[in-house]
Copies of this chain bind each other. A is one copy, B any other.
Amino acid sequence: MSQLMRVNMNTKEISFEDLSNNKDYGGFGGRGLTSMIVSKEVPPTCHPLSEKNKLVIAAGLLSGTPAANSGRLSVGAKSPLTGGIKESNAGGTAAFKLGRLGIRGIVVEGQAEPGKLYCLIVNKDGATLHPADEYKGLKNYDLVEKLKEKHGEKVGTISIGPAGEMKMSSASVAVSDPMGRPTRHAGRGGMGAVMGSKGLKAVVIDDAGAPKIEYTNFDAFKEAAAKLRKTLQTHDVTKPGGGLAVFGTNVLVNIMNEAGGFPTRNFTEGRFEGAEKISGETMHDVIKERGGDTTHAGCTTCIIQCSNIYHDKDKNYVTSALEYETIWANGANCGIDDLDSIAQIDRLCDDYGVDTIETGCAIGVAMAGGLKEFGDAKGAIELLHEIGKGTPLGRILGNGASVTGQAFGVSDVPVVKRQSMPAYDPRAVKGQGVTYATTPMGADHTAGYAVATNIMKVGGYVDPLKPDGQVELSRNLQIATAALDSAGMCVFIAFAVLDIPEGLEAIPEMLNARYGLNMTLDDVTKHGQAILKVERAFNTAAGFTNLDDRLPDFFKEKKLAPHNVVFDVSDEELDQAHNY
């Protein structure tokens, strides 16, 4: 049985609903579940920090099973950053543990008394809400240590740092990793601010003694899961010894720099002269030398192991999951080529609880506005502390690149729907530009990762520098991703299943075997489309129009070196991205 838990922060009441026969939500998990609930229950025009917003935390449809890479956790709400619907997802252990406990979703409703904090404890006996004022102002690492001391080393945690308590629009929701550290973040769109506005500091999940997961047909499930596993272990990108396993996601620095789509100094150039110093290859050697871990599973059930553990010069732990997007945002995008400084920024982002992408972009915009020089690593670290302390400057930066641009009078701000862009310049990776523009999520790379086909030639090839075919590419990826996000699957399995049909088939087969369904691949597509449709309808009801599905003008006007390209997918084509 899969349950939906509701936590009312006004009354402190907790209730459970069986999802099996729920006609609105029953067939959805992960992003599918968060988006269906937000869409049906949150007034689209409400203030995102008001009590009418709801925070939905959801495990995927396959979370809790041993299916490879099925442990992504979705966090959804109306976003204080974009003003639209939002799903942000993270790895870690929480989704798996929730799945094991038979809990597919937690809906946090209402608002606690102003200034009061609570902690939600979830275990095999149910859930309880406890005052948590003693955790006020705690950073994520200290907080999680205290939670483990109290509730046991093996619990999973979902938490906010000071930024979430301060309701900053870049505040993340931290999820603890298999080592018990708060390194995996649902970073995008300020879900941590919504959690903070509810007065919820942390969720502790103890799956000890959880009953066995029920399968309609366990043998069929095992068989399908094996197909997916084999697919991932076969494909060049995802296999052991492949790019992701050896260098982590940061393998992309050299690839994107070579492609001329590596946004540098607030998206003014496409190549960074310091790329080599922050590349995956360099990082691999540094980590090895210092006794860190170059390959590491950040999510329960992960077999790709793209994560890592980064040590400082004295071989002490600094951070984990030092990812490509983080290294780019706080590296090339700020003109910074020092990995140790970037690692420190990553740790501070995780600890204060802010999105590394939004933060790096905000700092890049502040540098463009003259607050610091590009390349000033020490200055960037100072800015991170301003965020953590909640100084006025920290409140500007912590509310993201768009507010930072307004504060410092900068007009070239790389955002869509007020959310900042990730690590691929849309002029040189045009399929990615279409995704940034048209996903309901605001500029987001995972929502339709066209880099796969534009750059890595996975699932075919579409020339990244030409407008042709980008809308179709992005459309198909957006649909597939929405479905994967509902299943709780990592987006990286797409690399393999786009090329190896058996892997793709395994997904509906696992769902069918788990729940007794008869889904086809076509149904998976419809599932993804259904999610996107409610998300877009929510945004329309919140006041968005097709004009919100556009990149800022400067991407259409200012040429990006070295290819000297602009973003030239027409508005008319962009308006076809959701034509299905």
Known: A169-B406, A392-B393, A406-B80. A411 touches B49 (CB 8 A): yes
Q: Which residues on the B side are within 8 Å of A411 (C-beta)?
A: 47-50, 197
Please tell me if the beta carbons of A408 and B395 are within 8 angstroms of each other in the complex: yes
What are 7 A-B contacts defined by CB distance under 8 Å?
A47-B554, A49-B410, A193-B409, A392-B393, A403-B403, A403-B406, A543-B548
Known: A403-B406, A407-B403. A45 touches B547 (CB 8 A): yes
A51 (CB) vs chain B CBs: closest residue: B411
A48 (CB) vs chain B CBs: closest residue: B411
- Can you add 6 more A-B contacts, CB < 8 Å, to A45-B550, A197-B409? A50-B554, A80-B406, A196-B409, A197-B411, A403-B406, A543-B548
- What number of copies of this chain does the assembly contain? 2
Q: Which residues on the B side are within 8 Å of A396 (C-beta)?
A: 392, 395-396, 407
A395 (CB) vs chain B CBs: closest residue: B407
The A184-200 residues at the B interface (CB cut-off 8 A) are 193, 196-197
Q: Is A166 an interface residue (CB 8 A)?
A: yes
Q: Which residues on the B side are within 8 Å of A48 (C-beta)?
A: 411
Complex CA gap A393/B390 in Å reads 11
The A104-121 residues at the B interface (CB cut-off 8 A) are none
Q: Which residues on the B side are within 8 Å of A399 (C-beta)?
A: 406-407
Give the interface SS of chain A, mostly helix, strand, loop or mixed: loop
Q: Is A391 an interface residue (CB 8 A)?
A: yes
Q: Which 8 A-B pairs have the closest CB atoms?
A: A167-B409, A392-B393, A543-B547, A392-B392, A395-B407, A49-B411, A47-B411, A50-B411
Please tell me if the beta carbons of A409 and B49 are within 8 angstroms of each other in the complex: yes
Q: Which residues on the B side are within 8 Å of A403 (C-beta)?
A: 403, 406-407
Q: How many residues of A contact B (CB 8 A)?
A: 42
Q: Which residues on the B side are within 8 Å of A541 (C-beta)?
A: 547
Please tell me if the beta carbons of B547 and A542 are within 8 angstroms of each other in the complex: yes
Best-buried of A541, A544, A545, A550 by chain B (most CB within 10 Å)? A545
A44 (CB) vs chain B CBs: closest residue: B547
Known: A46-B553, A391-B392, A552-B47. A409 touches B545 (CB 8 A): no
Q: Is A168 an interface residue (CB 8 A)?
A: yes
Complex CA gap A168/B409 in Å reads 7
Q: Is A230 an interface residue (CB 8 A)?
A: no
Complex CA gap A423/B511 in Å reads 59
Q: Is A52 an interface residue (CB 8 A)?
A: yes
- Partner pick for A545 among B49, B52, B543, CB 8 A cutoff: B543
In the complex, how many angstroms separate the beta carbon of A397 from the nearest chain B beta carbon? 9
